[in-house]
Amino acid sequence: MNRESASAPINRFTLQELITISGGESRPGLMGECLAASTESHLQAFRYPCRINAFIIGVGTEGEASGLLNLQEFRLKKDSMFIFSPNSILQARSAESVKAHVIAISPDFLKRINLDTKRMLPLFLQFTACPCLEISHKECQALRNFIVLIEQELKGPESEFSAEIIGGLISSMLYKVGEILRRYLAEHPEIENPDRSRAKEYFTQFTQLLGQHYKHERSVGFYARQLCITPKYLTTLIKRISGKSASEWIDSFVILEAKTLLKYSDMSVQEIAYALNFPNQSFFGSYFKRNTGMSPSHYKAQP
C-alpha cells in the first residue's frame, strides 16, 4: 500500500498492488493491466479511505458488505452488481463473510479495447450515484461466467493473441453490463428522466472537479464557474440528486482529508491547515469544529 507525500495521504492502490492483495503475482505488460478474481473479500485492506486507479465491476455472490464510495454509502450483497470508476474514494465499513467476483481494468487498457463508448458512457453515467444495484440471479451468473473466463485467460501464459482474447471477453462483459443497466432503466423509468439525467451528469462532473481541487478550493462559486452554471443552480442540482448541497459535499471532502491527516500522518495541526489552504491554524480549527463538533487536537488525540 503506497502513501503519497504527507500533504496527500489518502492511500492509492495501483492495479499491480490490487493484484498482490488478491493473492496474485505482479506481472508486467498486459497481465498487469487487468485483474479478475473470484475470491473472499479483502475489504480489511480498504478500512481507511483509499483510491484505486482502476475501473472495477463485480457481483456479490455471498454475504454482505457496506462501505462508502465518494462519501456515499453502498451495500454489497448476493446478486448485486457494483461499478466503481477510477480514482473514486473507497472505504470499507463492514464485511460479513462477503464473497464477490470482481474485475478491475486499468484506464489505459479500457481505452484500447473495442467498445462503443458513445453508447456506453452515457448509460454508465446515469448510475454514478448508484454504485450498487440489485440484479437477477441469472444476470449475476452471466457476469460471473465472464469473469471466470477472463480470470482463466489472465492466469495462463501470455500469447500472441492474449490482448485480443482478453479484450474481446472484457468488451463482451461490458456490453452485458450495459444490457443489464438498460433492463434496469426500463423497469425504473424515473431514473431516465431527462432532468434527473442532466443533474446526474453535473453531479459526476462536480465530484470529479471536487476530487481534483478540494484541497485548495472550498467555494461553490469556483465549481459553478468550472461547469459554466450559477452557484444557485449547481446547489439545486446537487441537492436534488444526492440529498446534500454542494457546500456540504465540499465540506465532506475537506473533513475526510483533514481526519485522515490528523489520524494517519505525522503532520502538525498547523501543517495540515496550510496543506488544506486555510490561512492559519485558528481558521482551520474553527472550520473543523463547526463540521465535527470537536477541535482538531481533540480528534487527533482520540484512540
Determine the average pLDDT of the residues in 158-163.
86
**Both 178 and 214 in a single domain?**
no
Per the domain annotation, does 2 fall within a domain? no
Q: Do 144 and 25 fall within a single domain?
A: yes
d(CA 36, CA 58): 9
Q: What is the structure's pLDDT at 197?
A: 61
Better-scored residue on pLDDT, 234 or 201:
234
Domain boundary among 161, 190, 219: 190
Tell me: do 121 and 181 sit in the same domain. yes
pLDDT, tens digit (0-9, with 9 covering 90-100), for 105-158: 888 888 888 788 777 877 777 676 678 899 999 999 999 999 999 989 888 888
Asked, for residue 283, whether it belongs to a domain, the answer is yes
Question: In the chain, pLDDT over 70 holds for what percent of residues?
Answer: 84
Least confident of 112-116, 162-166, 212-216: 112-116
CATH number at 294 reads 1.10.10.60
Instruction: Report in angstroms the alpha-carbon separations of 189 from 74, 123, 131, 273.
Output: 22, 13, 18, 46
Burial pattern 208-235, b for ≥16 Cβ within 10 A else e, equals bebeebbbebbebeebbebeebebeebb
The range of the structural domain enclosing residue 291 comes to 194-301
One-letter identity of residue 220: V
- Position 1 in a domain: no
CATH number for position 147: 2.60.120.280
**pLDDT digits 0-9 by tens, 15-73:** 777 767 666 665 666 667 777 877 655 555 667 777 788 888 999 988 888 888 877 78
CB atoms within 10 A of CB 93: 14
Q: Are residues 121 and 270 in the same domain?
A: no
The radius of gyration computed from the CA coordinates of the chain, to the nearest angstrom, equals 20
Last residue of a domain, one of 174, 190, 206: 190
14: pLDDT strictly greater than 60: yes
- 10 Å CB burial of residue 266 (0-12, 13-18, 19+) is exposed
Using a pLDDT cut of 90, give the percent of the chain over it: 30
Give the pLDDT band of residue 4 (cuts 50, 70, 90).
very low
Taking CA atoms, 101 is separated from 113, 185, 214, in Å, by 21, 23, 33
Q: State the amino acid at position 197 in one-letter form.
A: S
Clarify whether residues 201 and 166 are in a common domain. no
Strongest mean pLDDT among 22-26, 82-86, 285-289: 285-289
C-alpha cell at 47: 478500512
Tell me what pLDDT residue 28 has.
61
Element (H, E) at 17: helix 15-21
In what helix (H) or strand (E) does residue 174 lie, and over which residues does it extend? helix 162-187
In contact, 257 and 87? CB cutoff 8 Å: no
In a domain, 6, yes or no: no
Segment 157-181 shows an average pLDDT of 91
- pLDDT score of 196 more than 60: no
Write down which residue in 136, 160, 190 finishes a domain.
190
Question: Are 167 and 202 within one domain?
Answer: no
Q: Is 230 left (phi over 0), alpha (psi -120 to 50) or beta?
A: beta
Q: Report the C-alpha gap between 144 and 74 in whole angstroms.
A: 21
Confidence of residue 276 (pLDDT cuts 50, 70, 90): very high
Model pLDDT, residue 42: 55
Residues 8 and 87: beta-carbon distance below 8 Å = no
According to the model, what pLDDT value does residue 5 have?
38
CA atoms lying within 13 Å on the CB side of residue 241: 31
For residue 223, name the pLDDT band (cuts at 50, 70, 90): very high
Q: What is the domain count for the chain?
A: 2
* Residue bearing the bigger pLDDT, 185 or 270: 270
Number of helices and strands in the chain (H, E) = 12, 8
